[in-house]
Each structure stands twice: as C-alpha cells, then as structure tokens.
Structure 1
Amino acid sequence: MIYLGLIALGLVLVVLVATDGTSRIGGVIEPDQLAGLAWGGTILALVVAGFWRQFRGGMGENLRALLIWALLGLACVVAYSYRDQFQGVGARVMGELRPGTASIGPGGAVTITRRRDGPFAVDAEVNGRGQSFTFDTGASAVVLTAENAAALGIRPNERDFTTRVATANGVTYAAPIYLDSIRIGPITERRVPAMVSRPGDLSDNLLGQTFLSRLPSYEVRGDRLILQGR
C-alpha cells in the first residue's frame, strides 16, 4: 500500500511539472488543489499501511475486536432508532415495580398501575415538590392533608377553614387555596383550586375533580389508570 501511495505521488508530481501551474489540470482542478490532495492522500496511505501491518500481525484477535465494535455500533443505531419504544417499555416496568409512578405512553398519555391494597396512588409534583395522591373521582377538589400542605409551606389560619366538606370521618371544614402547579409525568396544570384539610381529618392527599376535570379524558382499565393530557 505504501508503494501504491508513492507511485500515485510520483504521478502527481509529473503532472504538476508538466503543467505551467496557471491552468486547471484537465479543466477541472487547480494545480495547488491537486498537490494538496496528493499530500493528504500520501499521509493517509502511510497511516493506513501502519495500521494494516499491526492489524495483520494479530489477524484473529483483531477481527474479533472489529466484530465486537461493529456489533456495539449496530446496537447503538438500533437503540437510537427505537428509543421511544424502549422508553415506553422502561416506563411500564417502573410502573409495575413502583405503583404510582407515571408510565408515559403514545400521545403523552400517563398510565398509573393500581397498588396492591386497592386504590390508585399517584406520584405527582405540587409546586415543584413530590407528593403522593389517592385517585378519587368522588372528591370535588384536590385536597391536601394539613401535614403535607405544611411541608409545601402552606399553613392556613384557623379562620380560613370555611368550606364544608364530607369525609369518611364525617362532616368537617377545609381551607380553600390555589396550587401553582400540579405535574404528573408530562401533564402539568397550573393555578389549580384545592383545599387543605384540618389536621387529623385525612391520612392521604386526594386527587379530585379540580385537577381531573381539566384533562381531556381519564379512565380506569382494570388495574390501570390512564390520564390524557392536553
């Protein structure tokens, strides 16, 4: 390969000497461009020849390494081509392992897997901080427990508990508030009306209608809760 490169370089030199250096060679390429190509081609031939000599010295091992790198490259191309499908599979696996985790499907739909004790637990971000909710279509509003609201820096005064609500423990009063944002997977709703329960009245946050009614759709299919964002 080195000899071929040297022969090619010699031919280029002959052509350059035979021309006057002012006109294009063959009417296509300038003499200085041809000289640059010849020089670059010679360097490339020397580099390739060196690698080939080393490669040929351990042909079997080098071929195996080359095959491994080719397979790794192919795997990267396949993974990139099907990245959306792989992300969906990974999200579904996480949903099975951690009920409440948002699994993102086609069109941005969010799927939540029912937890073992029955209700749907939904992991969300409220005002940018993590909170867990119980999915409750019977709740007219999103409701935070007093303890979880305090963790978000929301501490209503006693006089703010003015809204009469019915709970499993009977009739009580809650404090109406607005939440800056509620985010579940890619679904984000802002300025969501909500309520804070009195201390001890609720054990879990409730994901109620002031959030759910904003969605284009939501439904329960077996042990899957599917939320469709806008």
Structure 2
Amino acid sequence: MYPNLGYLFEDLFNIRLSGPFTILFAFQSFGFMMAMSFLAGAYTVYLELRRKEKRGLLQAVAKKTIVGTPASISDLLVNGVTGFILGFKLIEIFLDLKGFTDNPQEFILSSRGNLAGGVIVAALMVYLKYREKEKQRLSKPEEKTMLVWPRQMVGDITIIAAVSGLLGAKIFDSLEHLDSLVEDPIGTIFSFSGLAFYGGLIFGAIGVLYFAYRNKIPLLHMVDAAAPGLILAYGIGRIGCHVAGDGDWG
C-alpha cells in the first residue's frame, strides 16, 4: 500500500525520487483521494444542476450587490492574514523541504515558519486587493441586481460541504474515542487522522441544505442533484482508504 504519493510514484515508475520531487512524500494518499472525491462530486452536482436548469426545474435567483466601493479594512485584513500564513509556511517549506516531508502534520501545526516571507506575501496580497478595488471604484457606488443560477453556486456548496463535513466527521470520531479525547484533547482534535463517515454525512448535509434554503434552491432538487455526486465521492474516498493501507474494504 502507499501511505503517500511519493511511494506510489516510485512504485509506478520504478524510480527513486530525489531533490524537489521528494515533496510528493508530504502528500498523503488518503488526503489526495479525498480532495479528488470533492472535485468529482462537485462536478457531478454542477452537471445535475445544469440539467435541471435546462429542463426548467430550477430558476435563477436575483441577488443585489453594491459595486464600486473602495477596499474595506476587513478586505485588506483578510488578505493580509491569509498572505502572512501562506508566506510564513510556504517559504519555510521551500527552505527546509526535508523537514516538511519528514513530518508534514507536525510541520504545519508547529510555529515554524519564515517571518520575512510571511510579511512580504502579506504585503503583496494587501496591495493586490487594494489595486483591484481601486480599479473598480466608482465616484458613487451603485447597487446592482444580478441573476445567479444554482450551478454557479457549486463552488460555495462544495466549500460548505467540505468544511461542515470534516467538522462533523471529526466531532463524531472524537465522541467515539472519548478516552483519547480526554487524554489528549488538543492532539485528538487537531490530528489529521480519525474521521467518522456518518458525522461527515450528517453535518455536510445540514450545511448544504441550509445553504440551499438561504439561496432559494428547492431542497428536493438539491438533494436529488447531490445524490450521484455523493455516491461518486464516497467511492473515491473508499479507494483512498484502500490505497493508503487502512484495511478498509468498504
């Protein structure tokens, strides 16, 4: 079995990875397959929603938005914090690739990072956001109404399903292993392992249905459109379990 992509590539192509290619050892096979499952599921949901739209079963939703406003403090702050985290970690990974590939989880959750890299990337992202808003800025901001089709919300639906699903999977797994939670609450909660499918399904469904309700997507059509993608995503995820050597035969 292949716990990470490095072993998979070495076995498939009968090579020994070296240099920058050793970063493949940092990508866990199960995590990679989980990401693929979300992408495949999202594309399937997109196709189903588009099919329903063509048949006239779903309609566009009118949404009001204000255009021409300058960059707000929250916009700049979000971009700055995001840029700092990315630069802080990514630059350090580039400078110490071996340390990252040896234990990616410990590396990511640790305080290790490159301060200068974080500041530079944060400043760059703040500047780019400011410039973007300035180009769109109007002397007098206007309120516009746009028609948004359900298929155009698939990106938001996928993010909500992923975040709420992973949260639910972690909560249910922690409840199933209360002894580990009591013994090491921080390690158990922030560990990259330990996910309960039913928790992910329940929380993910609640998150997606709430989003559909808020955006006036009929719930029955949302469930119907999500069903094929859910089955496909679950299958790909189970393949990831098997490839990673979890001994999970379904």
Do they fold alike, i.e. is TM over 0.5?
A: no
TM-score bracket relative to the smaller structure: under 0.3
**TM score, norm. by length of structure 1:** 0.19
Q: Which has the larger radius of gyration?
A: 1
Higher normalized strand content (fraction of residues):
1
**Higher relative contact order structure (alpha carbons within 8 Å, sequence separation ≥ 6):** 2
**TM score, norm. by length of structure 2:** 0.18
Higher normalized helix content (fraction of residues):
2
